[in-house]
Structure 1
């Protein structure tokens, strides 16, 4: 009886968003009954909400060892794997849960979310529709259905579904956030801002709504709106296709650069492509950190930035100053002598590495999981160490420094792919 009263308190605390307190109550219940399935499930959910998927998985694995047919534990295992970007395994566990309880709208809602993350929008729509057959008012299924319809190009049906979701629960922060992103994707950033603001009023801790609000504020800038269109365009592709497009563009840039001199009358077109690619690539890499820096001076935006984003915006300011020093050095130095060429090269190194350091710090800040952030931070420090060595050798061994600098592009590309793999 005491265990049940403790679990009731844990459930109340969890619903209030007090996950740390709820976890303590669940642990207290487990001290009386170590194999209590509800206590294990609540503790796993607390770790999941606290973005501690590794700890959550340990707890839920214990629950599944006790009862491999526990549909709640199977659902939570799938949710944990989804948070860890292990989509294939997540689908297997959600299917296993559905084999024991085939009428679970919760399971179909999660399955739709997993398919959406994989850019399998038709499968996501099918899963959401299946869940709505068992619970026509299920909010996650309604929201996932709306997201899938929007990605498939049926904006009108998507808006109707979102209206249904909003009528079911007008105080649901996730639905308001979802409407905001749908409007943002369709270029209506001012309208989107209203829904993100309402979502944050309902749930001030919603990271999804906060991120949407940041995008909506930044979208007042024309260039940022074009960048968002590019992001939404990529989001409609499968993860493998995104890598193919990004890496394919880089290979095309390298190939055209290697044959440019032999193209004759078409050489100006090749040069135009190369510079266009460089401007677009660098812009897409630095737009987030630079826009966050400018948002520090926005009357409302500065309150939406998280403490971590403010910290990384300070790094952006430092790295931008390094690039400006490099540009100044290049402009002040000629190429008449060996010594002036050496210092012109130093200006080039500072300019390039200033931009690269900005991108590296932004990549570290954008990784959500603690383990992924630690891994990307280590990779970033290794790359920064390489860059510092080039700058040091640029003073004493300029020829060796130039050779090492030429390899930096491949090192940076490797860092980018590794950082993306940790998201």
Structure 2
């Protein structure tokens, strides 16, 4: 739930117009409408709160805080003013004031689930995951179908590594709102960590259909594509191994580099010598093969000096190797078979 979806019990006509303008991101027009209402009714706490909401959505946090304090000056027990005051203070990095303001809002209206959701969000940002989960569950006891509280509980469970409960919470969010982009994104990331790449890709695509500019969904979709192929998985493992090796060398300093150099000095000869022997023997066999075939298949009566000449002569001089044609059409290296024409 975003602040633009907030609505009082009996909203006036100008409030509905301002809320609809904020929903379509026409914040300046909504602000002009609200200031016109304040000019007519300068002691309206509702108008000050709406102005604070609009200014906060435009990232004008100091002005939003001032508008919320003006609403509290008119009505000191206005819980919505404390809510937007907490949002403005948290956006400016004043966590203590934000915590006190949202605590006051909950005390004034303990039946509002969105106040628990905001406090859970602050606690999660302040790295209190267990406390954030408890606060979100407290808000769900007030309103079990509150999507913001379910979302905060989901994020807290993921930080606490409660994968099964997080997946169950995300599916509950989709049951309440099938077009909930954060739930699709969370399910895609959870399934991606479980190596279910095809289903994760489907959830990432669903999240992008709802919010085309969601960067986390685009990154998850790209990761699911890469992980479906074995080469990218091997390269990712190689990157992790290289990163660990770099950390080890950084921690060891000069000693680590000396150990690495010594390892190269010892390992390279051990690995290269068998390879050199194997490839050298294969190369010699390839170079000597024509001469060996010639010696083994030399016809009777052929002078032996020709065999030794072929043995020391480079192979590249004879394009046909040991099968060099002669004037009569016979070939050196032909098998010694009896002359069939002589027999007949």
TM (norm. structure 1) is 0.49
2:162 is aligned to: 154
Residue pair 1:256, 1:270 contacting (<8 A) in 2 also: no
Describe how 1:38-57 pairs up with structure 2 within 5 A: 38-57=46-65
CA distance in 1, matches of 2:54, 2:194: 35
1:58 has 2:62 as partner: no
1:83 is aligned to: 91
Shift of 1:199: 3.2
Residue pair 1:143, 1:178 contacting (<8 A) in 2 also: no
1:68 is aligned to: 76
1:211 has 2:215 as partner: yes
Q: Select which of 121, 127, 141 maps to 2:129.
A: 121
1:268 has 2:272 as partner: no
Distance 1:120 1:173, change over 3 A: same
Aligned residue pairs, count: 238
CA RMSD of aligned residues (A): 3.3
Q: Select which of 45, 64, 72 maps to 1:37.
A: 45
2:112 is aligned to: 104
Shift of 1:24: 2.2
Q: Deviations over 1:308-327 (max 9, x none)?
A: xxxxxxxxxxxxxxxxxxxx
Please list every run of at least 4 consecutive aligned residues from structure 1 whose deviation after the TM superposition is greater than 6 angstroms. 223-226
Shift of 1:271: 9.1
CA distance in 2, matches of 1:141, 1:155: 18
Shift of 1:132: 0.5
Shift of 1:256: 5.8
Shift of 1:153: 1.3
1:279 is aligned to: none
CA distance in 1, matches of 2:121, 2:261: 43
Describe how 1:4-403 pairs up with structure 2 within 5 A: 4-183=12-191, 191-204=199-212, 210-219=214-223, 220=226, 257=253, 260=254, 263=255, 268-269=258-259
Residue pair 1:113, 1:124 contacting (<8 A) in 2 also: yes
CA distance in 2, matches of 1:92, 1:34: 27
Question: Between Structure 1 and Structure 2, whose CA radius of gyration is higher?
Answer: 2
Q: Deviations over 1:157-215 (max 9, x none)?
A: 111111111111222334334434544566666644543443343345x6xxx221332
CA distance in 2, matches of 1:225, 1:69: 56
CA distance in 1, matches of 2:70, 2:175: 39
2:281 is aligned to: none
Distance 1:24 1:160, change over 3 A: same
Distance 1:101 1:10, change over 3 A: same
Structure 2 unaligned runs (5+)? Answer: 1-10, 227-231, 241-246, 263-344
SS in 2 for 1:85: coil
Distance 1:189 1:66, change over 3 A: farther
Deviates further, 50-59 or 98-107:
50-59
Shift of 1:125: 0.5
Distance 1:256 1:67, change over 3 A: farther
Distance 1:141 1:222, change over 3 A: same
Shift of 1:268: 2.3
2:306 is aligned to: none
Distance 1:18 1:190, change over 3 A: farther
CA distance in 1, matches of 2:160, 2:51: 37
SS in 1 for 2:77: coil
Residue pair 1:187, 1:225 contacting (<8 A) in 2 also: no
Residue pair 2:205, 2:221 contacting (<8 A) in 1 also: no
